[in-house]
Amino acid sequence: MRRLVIALILACACKAQDYEFPSDFEFGVGTASYQIEGGWDDGGKGENIWDFVLHNNECFTADCSNADDACMSYYKMDDDFQMLEDLGVDFYRFSISWSRILPKGHIYEVNPEGVAYYHQLIDGLIERGIKPVVTMFHWDLPMQLHETGSWTNPRLVDSFVSYADLLFQEYGDKVFTWTTFNEPYQFCEWGYSTGLHAPAYAQNGIGGYLCGHTVLLAHAKTYRLYQESYKELYGGQGEIGITIHGAWREPVEPTDEDRAASDAALQFTFGWFANPIFSETGNYPTVMIETIEAKSNEENFRRSRLPSFTQEEIDLIKGTSDFLGLNYYNSYYCSADFDNSAVTVPSMTNDIGANCRGVAVSTESWGLRKLLKYIKTEYNNPKILITENGYGVNSAADSLDDCDRTNYFNSYLHTLLNSIYEDGVNVIGYTAWSLMDNFEWQSGYTRRYGLYHVDFTDPERPRTPKRSAFVYGNIISTRKIDRFFAPTSYEACIYTFPDEFEFGCATSSYQVEGAWDVDGKGENIWDYMTHTDPGVITDNNNGDIACNAYYKTEEDVELLENLGVDFYRFSLSWSRILPGGHANFTNPAGIDYYNGLIDALLAKGITPLVTLFHWDLPQPLQEIGGWTSPLLVDLFVDYAEVIFQRFGDRVKNWITFNEPYQICQEGYSEHNKAPLYTQDGIGGYLCAYTVLMAHAKTYEIYQSRYNSDKEGKMGITVHGIWSHPQDINSDADKEASESKLQAHFGIYLHPIYSEEGNFPPSFIERVDRLSAEEGFPWSRLPKFTQEEIDLLKGSADFLGFNHYATDLCYALSADETRRPSHEYDSGARCYKSDMWESAASSWVKVVPWGFRKLLHWIKEQYNNPEVVVTENGFSTFGNDVTDCRRINYYNVYLEALLQAIYEDGCKITKYTAWSFLDNFEWMDGYLEKFGLHSIDFNDPNRPRTAKMSSYVYNNIITTRKINRDFTPTGFDPCDFDVIPEMERP
């Protein structure tokens, strides 16, 4: 039984991005009566406030239109039924026109034709197996009720309850899911404060709050009426909610001021209606009550502009919802940089005091997940029905081939799945807005949201399915997202790389140059290790010749030109430039070699991206302690200054260190890399301290002495492995995964990219505590002075990010590992699942969702720094140039990168394929091949042959998109559904 449970846990974790919607999850589409019905004065319908405003103010809308006819749904019920059946939806969310049922708004005059129309609609849905989800009020108030004060008049509470009572009597035996109001923020603030919506009142800072007060009481009394009089009568299964518009507000900067401004904006727009109903305490959010009262006093009002509830009313409203209806379209960045001289006073905008702007890319869905987590935490995880979510474009830009809308739905539904499975949010259903193009309020017919196109120039209003209708139907029928699903006659929708995005490829000096003792080059730690103990390398080989790149600059630059790359990332050999490691002697031949390479690249329009240190420390410096010695800080800075002086006039993109975790932990703690030291839990931390200080001082000197034109940029490259909980439902595994991220990744990022600097606080605390338990008189983790913390903080213009794989992690117990050790300090035991496709390198697995998650984690942890992906690739055995598995790896990882850009809002500017050539792969010698070009290591001349992947990568660069069907001339197509086994030589 235990094995079965573990297997199930692994199956869930290993397919984290292949989540399927739960079997009881429901899909629907939505509309609203005024937006689609038409027949504005047919069948006894009365006038509503939108009829009145648009008939008396011809150009209130963007196109001077009205909804007298709209989509003609009042007459085209069968057509609408057919669309719903074709989509395969579980439910249809629509609203009832109050003035079609009660032409004058009051219960004394019921319109039989209106009542019959909705009976026919509801019965037709039920006959087709489609559940009706009914909204009682979607903005179209009967005109006569408006004339007696509208929603600013508390007397409307009883009128609404009477109207709801009639609906329960007529339809309650057939409708079991109700929402009282749709988006009260919009119709209150825009209708009664700013005048953007009907009834177009402009009582800024007053009217909206009065409206909201009435609406909340009307909602609560309607809910109580249903519970007391109708729920048991109709079998006890009915549920009532309210639909609130939500938009996550993210601080522009991680400051207390911006956080406060963002929270205020969220509370005024969302908490205004959510807090009185869903919080434990009830009432309006405290920030609303206190802020409006204070500002009202400043403005010489005798009482707060926000009405107050009695305790009896607070108790009446609290808990009056069986689910939360959530409409979500976009997210916002907010700051405290607010100028109230440019706004009306009083007004809600002034009350909030925040400067908010919408995200630039509509497919960025991260805000939905944040809001859902907020709702779970703040309101005790209520049931949530997504009642609207959709993508609108200008009518001139909309088409049947609506890829933007398709990508939007894919993005938001993907985020929704993560919220359900990883955050435990209780989302029960999703509603796409909208079934068809319709009348979009003040935008008239200039804005299109529909899954179906409606031709508004044709009196018959014909409907035609768009691509998005087929895609949404496929999601419903398969219960999962297939980003490459393409309806018949369409190609799959794919993201394209931004115009400014750059592509490159990479190598490092020891891995490709060879010429290990030629032209004055000194010995480095890899030369020393492989010569004194060749058996430590799997194939007993070394980098003495490697790819012979020292002699093949012209040939390699020509290959780079053929690839079409924007930049070439390579590293400098410290011991080729300073043979003894010290700056007292500079090797002219080494300088000439790199000058030749840099000039050749620039002549071909290829930008050099130069890494100062990629693991090959001069051996004389290792003999004085290597990276565990703080002496190396100044020696590295001396070396860097030589580099800046010799190459800085042409090189403007720098990386100080490549993968300090591997340098330090694997080299000085775990005996996995040169110099093969085993000081676990000690040596790696001493090294980390030295490397970080060397980086920071190098950055400071570069900026102050060598970057006067400010064209240069410098970063550090850190290797990141996404740590995913083995069991996503286990808090212990979640904590262990986060702890591992901080210990492996955050230890190098947090000092540089965080707001507060220093090592991650949780890691400092854990190592300090464990060191004391182990009898050390001091912490094994070195301490930075405040001056050093300040020097490190912000010492990078971008983050270089190497990524190859993902881990599954669980909480580590004391008896599972040795102490002291970095693993125990991390608090996690991690491994790679056998269920994932493996490369020739056992540490490389095909898990693209982990790549995306880690990019998103970086964004959230470190305020979205610029990220340059400096390595990413796949290894194989042998010399087969038809490298389909590598091609698949690049395809799926670049797809994940595009999703991180467009859906998560990550600031990723460059991508680097590892590697340009097959090369010496450190402890595995020449067995494992990462190259886009094959090298015949049995031939002294080391000839290069372009692999299939090089042509595919060139096609991606040239077209700026991923084409899984692209096959280069001379190669057979890849079958990505077949994964052949690789046998280790």
Question: Cα separation of 192 and 205, whole Å?
Answer: 9
Contact 53, 60 (CB under 8 A): yes
pLDDT for the residue numbered 465: 98
pLDDT beyond 80 at 9: no
pLDDT beyond 90 at 816: no
pLDDT for the residue numbered 7: 38
pLDDT for the residue numbered 6: 35
For 699-731, the pLDDT digits (tens) are 999 999 999 989 999 999 999 999 999 999 999
Contact 369, 331 (CB under 8 A): no
Tell me the average pLDDT across 552-573: 98
pLDDT beyond 70 at 507: yes
pLDDT beyond 70 at 11: no
List the structure tokens of 946: 């372009």
Tell me the average pLDDT across 625-653: 98
Give CA torsion, residues 99, 102, 103, 105, to 10 deg: -80
Could you give the angle at which helices 948-959 and 553-563 cross, rounded to 10 degrees? 50
C-alpha distances out from residue 944 to 491, 697, 879, Å: 36, 39, 11
What is the DSSP secondary-structure string of 222-254?
HHHHHHHHTTTTTTT--EEEEEEEE--EEESSS
pLDDT for the residue numbered 186: 98
Tell me the average pLDDT across 636-649: 98
Q: Is the dihedral of CA 581, 583, 585, 591 positive or negative?
A: positive
Model confidence at 1, pLDDT cuts 50, 70, 90, reads: very low
- Contacts with 648 (C-beta within 8 Å, 6 or more apart), sequence order: 706, 712
pLDDT for the residue numbered 818: 75
Laid out side by side, the sheet with 355-358 consists of 249-251, 332-335, 355-358
pLDDT for the residue numbered 427: 98
Tell me the average pLDDT across 209-229: 98
For 362-372, the pLDDT digits (tens) are 889 999 999 99
Question: Cα separation of 735 and 828, whole Å?
Answer: 9
Contact 968, 928 (CB under 8 A): no
Known catalytic residues?
871
pLDDT beyond 50 at 346: yes
Could you give the angle at which helices 631-647 and 683-701 cross, rounded to 10 degrees? 40
pLDDT for the residue numbered 8: 36
Report how many helices (DSSP H) and strands (DSSP E) the chain contains, helices first: 37, 28
pLDDT for the residue numbered 15: 46
Q: Is the dihedral of CA 150, 153, 155, 157 positive or negative?
A: positive
Q: Which residue has the tokens 């540089």?
A: 752
Domains located in the chain, CATH noted: 2-478 (3.20.20.80), 502-959 (3.20.20.80)
For 922-979, the pLDDT digits (tens) are 999 999 999 999 999 999 999 999 999 999 999 999 999 999 999 999 999 999 887 7
Contact 744, 829 (CB under 8 A): no
What is the DSSP secondary-structure string of 950-966?
HHHHHHHHHHTB--TT-
Question: Cα separation of 325 and 245, whole Å?
Answer: 8
pLDDT for the residue numbered 10: 39
Contact 85, 128 (CB under 8 A): yes
Contact 232, 226 (CB under 8 A): no
For 410-431, the pLDDT digits (tens) are 999 999 999 999 999 999 999 9
pLDDT beyond 60 at 906: yes
pLDDT beyond 60 at 14: no
Report residue 892 CA to chain centroid gap: 17
